[in-house]
Amino acid sequence: MRTQEFSTSLGSSPLTVLLTPLAGQANGSVIVRSGDTTVLVTAVMAKIPREGGDFFPLTVDYEERGYAAGKILGSRFVKREARPSEEAILTARLIDRTIRPRFDLRMRNEVQVIATVLSFDGANDPDVPSLLGASLALSLSDIPWDGPVAGVRIGRKENAWIVNPSIAEREGGELDLMVSGTDAKINMVEGGANELPEDLMLEALAEAHAEIKKIIAFEAEIVAKNHPTKTAVPLAAVRGPLRDALVNNFSERIGDALWTQEKASRNERIAALKAEWVEFAKKEFPNASPQEISYNWEDEMDVVVHRRIIGENRRPDGRRPDELRPLSAEVQIVPRVHGTGLFIRGETQALSMITLGSPGDRLLIEGMEVSAKRRFMHHYNFPPFSTGETKPLRSPGRREIGHGALAERALRPLIPDAETFPYTIRIVSEILSSNGSSSMASVCGSTLALFDAGVPMKKPAAGIAMGLMMEQNEGNRKQETGNSEPNYVVLTDIQGPEDHYGDMDFKAAGTRDGITALQMDVKIDGVTIEMIAKTLAQAKRARIEILEVMQRAIPEPRPDLSPFAPRIAVVKIDPAKIGALIGPGGKIINGIIDQTGVDIAVEDDGTVFVTSVKAEGMAEALAMIKQITKEYKPGELLEGTVTRVFDFGAMVEVAPKTEGLIHISELAPWRVNAVEDVVNIGDRIPVMVRNIDDQGRLNFSLKSVPGRYSEEDIARGQEASRNAPPSYRPPHPRDDRRGPRPPRFRR
């Protein structure tokens, strides 16, 4: 098999690209290795345009395979990959947001990029090689594409930058940031941080872009040696009589409709105006396709928004570029819920509700890259009524998963650790009304809910969505390139047309002291570090303003949990006692749960979490656990039930599955000829711990219990013992030095 191999390095890992005949029917295919992590990436374009589409149909899929990590994943009954994991969906979104701006959006031929992970070494994340593979597969194919692009991960630990950190190096770091772009601009950012200041975030972006330039040069070398030829595909026309008629008859009216403050009214005016345009175009230009009519409408909307905001400094709702919409924050909205927060910004409404659960409620994650338990979760719902639409209700889509993960990333550094607050925390943000920046509203609503629930958060967090309007070439979505800084406006708190037709969606969340989450994607060829610096500074001012409104609603976490929230008690036991607490097949621990109504979770280090809404159930369960796992000491007085009787003594159960032996010589202060003369099965008797042998087994004494026998009892017993016939007393069964036990007999 003829193979071309190209090698470089990224951080401390070798990076290898293999061009092979594999997947030869795809328009482009490439294999990328980072360490032993190996990814196959393919790119395919449909031969004819999609009929009836009014957008560029690009699909990016990231496929995890269990065999890549040597795992057999799936349920008990289905042992194959099914729905993509959240991690896979987030990686697919990351690649999509990087490569999409490099296509001509007038294309209607469907393009699909698939990254399949063939091998995973546990150290090198497949997302960076997958992005590199997507760029090369497109660049080496005949698909029209303005590449290459590249991505790199930047970490920070102990005040030092780490390029392409391993999965282990990312744990506990101050920053985990994915950055991608071209050799001139940055066009995608995704990451989380532990309150990283804005100046350090800019340093991280600069470090990342320096590495991106190296990878771009590496890609250019590969492309130059293979001389790909691009196919010409039909594009939606944006110039000519059709567009002139639109500009002359509708452009000014489009602006008036877009500059309607209330969203519902704006949508009605635009819909009516578009319907009028479609009828006009069909009548005056019968040869124009529906795609051309629709694309020109959308493109002119874009031009109008840019022209008015940049040229006239007019936002649709009359705000200044750095001005927020009206803000509102409330708590205790819904009864009985453990905590609620309602955050409103303009027409965007996020109602966040929190549920506190036991450690046993943690989410079990089992995937190709990770097997872990998650104790903090944020889920985001975007029902159709939030935009005044009717749609079928389905399981969460890529957008819902991405927005939920972004808000979760923003809050995670501020959640107390399990030692301080052992609860499992689940937040659900319901978007009741949407007009821009609902994911950042979820950060604000979730913070309010956490405070309302009494979760001792380290600090409050807020988020804001920033936008960008940049001068464009007429009829082209790509900006002018050159040395001069283009004319642009950074917008705070984008909504409606600013979001849809804007050139950048930049989400920043954090505290007063720094950034905890960042996400950026663009519709142009990218932005500079200087533009990002201005955006971060403007976002920080907005974030602090939002935090002030939130803290007026609730300044700090409540001192007590909701009366409807469960309480958790933490008990430490000897790890050697875990088996005794659980019992065979979970019999003991399940019995406690059934009897008391609590939830019990046991960690490997002997930490036991008991969760209960009812105080009496909690107390009963704790008493039972204490009894089962008790550390016994010689001389300790106990009470138990005789469960078994032997010739040499009796077994007494002092706690569930905890027994000890009373040797016949320890039953009474006289010679006992038969165990049944003193105790019988079912008797409830006091015992004293005589000793604990090397194997942890208990030996009891009945005769040593203070007050067990009176002087009269002792005298009668001794007299009876003297008059009884002599009998053989077998040796203690735990004295191994005496050899095998002899057969039982009586003289």
Nearest to 242 by CA among 181, 278, 285, 271: 285
Report how far apart, in Å, the C-alpha atoms of 644 and of each of 283, 675, 736 are.
100, 11, 21
Report yes or no: 296 and 251 within 8 Å, Cβ to Cβ.
no
Report CA Rg, the chain: 36
- Of 140, 210, 218, 212, residue with least CA distance to 182: 212
Q: Residues of 122-142 as b/e, b for ≥16 C-beta within 10 angstroms?
A: ebbbbbbbbbbbbbbbbbbbb
* CA angle (389, 432, 561) in 5-degree steps: 155
Q: Residue 475 corresponds to which tokens in the numbers above?
A: 């009829």
Q: Report which secondary-structure segment, H or E, holds 127.
A: helix 127-140
Amino acid at 405: A
Question: Per DSSP, what are the bridge partners of residue 29?
Answer: 42
Q: How far apart are CA 375 and CA 394, in angstroms?
A: 25
Q: In what order do the strands lie in the sheet with 376-381?
A: 327-331, 339-345, 348-357, 424-433, 376-381
Q: Binding site annotation covers 499?
A: yes
Kindly list the strands in the beta sheet with 599-602, ordered across the sheet, starting from the edge strand earlier in the chain.
567-572, 607-612, 599-602
CA 187 to chain centre: 24
Q: Distance (Å, rounded) from C-alpha 341 to C-alpha 429?
A: 9
**Residue 309 vs residues 313, 314, 316, 477, 488: alpha-carbon distances, Å:** 5, 5, 8, 16, 9
Q: Known binder of ligand: residue 183?
A: no
Nearest of 233, 424, 455, 259 to residue 341 by alpha carbon: 455
The C-alpha atoms of residue 428 and residue 450 are separated, in whole angstroms, by 11
As a whole number of angstroms, the distance between CA 328 and CA 432 comes to 14
CA distance 323 to 549: 15
The pair of three-digit structure tokens given for residue 552, joined into one six-digit string: 């007026």
Say how far apart CA 401 and CA 84 lie, in whole Å. 11
Q: Which two tokens stand for residue 484?
A: 């001069």
* SS3 assignment for 338-396: CEEEEEEECCEEEEEEEEEECHHHCEEEECCCCEEEECEEEEEECCHHHHCCCCCCCCC
Cα–Cα distance for residue pair 732/392, rounded to 1 Å: 76
Task: Return d(Cα 104, Cα 231) in angstroms, integer.
Answer: 13
- Pick from 673, 650, 674: nearest CA to 661: 650
Question: Using the 8-state DSSP alphabet, how is residue 564 labeled?
Answer: T
As a whole number of angstroms, the distance between CA 502 and CA 524 comes to 9
For residue 630, the SS3 value is coil
Its sign, for the CA torsion 125, 126, 131, 136, is: positive
Residues making up the annotated binding site for Mg(2+) are 499, 505
Residues making up the annotated binding site are 499, 505
